[in-house]
Each structure stands twice: as C-alpha cells, then as structure tokens.
Amino acid sequence: MFLPVLEISGIAKSYAGRQIVASASLVAARGEVVCLTGPSGAGKTTMLEIMAGVVSPDKGTVRHITPPALMFQDDALIPWLPAEANIAYIQPPRLSSSAVAGIAARWLGRFGLERHVLPAAMSGGMRRRLSLARTLASGRELLLLDEPFAFLDDAWQKIIAEELALRAAAGSGIIIATHAVAPLCRISALQERIRHIAVAGAPLVIEAT
C-alpha cells in the first residue's frame, strides 16, 4: 500500500536572479528510498532544504505527513559541543536526561563515535557519521539526507546503508541527495525500495508524483 510521507508540488526557487529549481513535484512513500542523483550545482541540496522546510520556495507547496529530519550537507554540528551533546541537543524536552543519554549512547556506539570528542577534533568521515547519528536519533520517519556517504570508506558506507535499510523496512520514508547510489544498491533488502531520480543540472526539474 502506498502511504505518502511527503508531497511537494510545483516547487520553484531562485537565488539572486538565478533559477535553481524550475519545477519539482514529488510524492514519497513510507518504506521508500528516493535517490536524487545529478551533478554538483544541480540544485539537489536546495531541493532537500525546501523539502525539510528550512528554505522557503518561491512557488509551490510542501506537505509533510510526518515531521522531517534533515542531514545537512555541511553537517551543521555545534562546534563547541561534544558528540553526545550534539545528539542530545535536538531531543525533545519531554524526555528525561537518562533517556536522552541512552539515545545518544546507542547512536554513538552504532557509528563508532566517542561521546566527549568535539567536532573540530574529528575527521570529515567522523563528522559525517555524527551528523547522520543525530539525524537518525531524532526518531523521525521522514529522513532527508544530503550526501550521507561523503568522506566514508566502504565499510562505513555499508553499515550506514544497512541502517537505512532497517529504517525503510520499519516504515520511514527516505530521500537522499547523493553522487553515489552504489552503497545502497549493494544492500539486497533495499533493491525493491529504491526509486532513482536522475536530475540533469540546474535549474532542477523533478516530475515524480
């Protein structure tokens, strides 16, 4: 059964007179992994940010059936907070401190990160893993991931693709902007869940409703 998790329609966006997104319409479903691929500068990041609601489109509508989580292209980690606190930062205030500590410990352990390390002391790959850990630790069911495999070696790419497969199987909708779909294609459980949308270049056009 097709259960939508995000609907966007007729999106257009320009920056400083340059059109980045010409027309984008998409309906993404639970359990689906939508891969947006295309060259750098094609507008994929802008599109994800519009989908997340952190950037307003000039035209069109965005409808979240469930609140989104966004893994930013540049990580958007808080530089003066250690790894654990970066994950704890986005947790809802209704959770107790021990519950928050448990969530952080689980995701840090899953992605091989130490709780007291500051982002500045991490490699690019570690920062990427922390950014993804924070996104997944939000517990949200609409995941918007901007280049989640960047700076990661094959082993970590596989672990993360497996984690995404688990989330998709549990009913999350996942939209990924990426140059590399190979790590996802290697996971057999994802084969039937992947929808590949190739974009040619700016301005971006998507018709996938």
Partner 1 sequence: MSTLLPYLVSGLALAGLAAFANLMLGPELAPSPLATLSAFAELGRSGELFRELAITLGRGALGIFLANIAGFSLGMAAGLIPGALRLLSPLVAAFQACPPILWISLVMVWAGTGSVVPVAAVFAATFPFVFSTTAQGVLGLDRRILAMSRLYAVPKSRIFRLVVLPGVFPYWLAGFSTVLAAGWKAAAVAEFLGSHQGIGARIFWNYHKLNMEQLNAWALVLILLGVALECGVVVPLRRKAAQAGLKDVSSGA
Give the footprint of partner 1 on this chain (CB under 8 A).
52-54, 68-70, 72, 74, 76, 78-81, 85, 89-90, 92-93, 138
CB of 92 to partner 1, least distance (A): 8
65 CB-near residues (< 8 Å, 6+ apart): 4, 5, 6, 7, 142
CB of 77 to partner 1, least distance (A): 8
Residue/partner pairs of 124-127 with CB below 8 Å, 24 or more apart: 124/150, 124/151, 125/151, 125/152, 125/153, 125/156, 127/75, 127/77, 127/151
When the beta carbons of 69 and 181 are compared against partner 1, the nearer one is: 69
CB of 137 to partner 1, least distance (A): 10
CB of 10 to partner 1, least distance (A): 23
When the beta carbons of 118 and 159 are compared against partner 1, the nearer one is: 118
Cα three-residue angle 101-107-110, rounded to 5 degrees? 135
Cβ atoms of 8 and 144 within 8 Å: the answer is: no
When the beta carbons of 177 and 184 are compared against partner 1, the nearer one is: 177
When the beta carbons of 48 and 190 are compared against partner 1, the nearer one is: 48
When the beta carbons of 78 and 198 are compared against partner 1, the nearer one is: 78
**Residue 113, CA atoms < 13 Å, CB-side half-sphere:** 33
CB of 97 to partner 1, least distance (A): 13
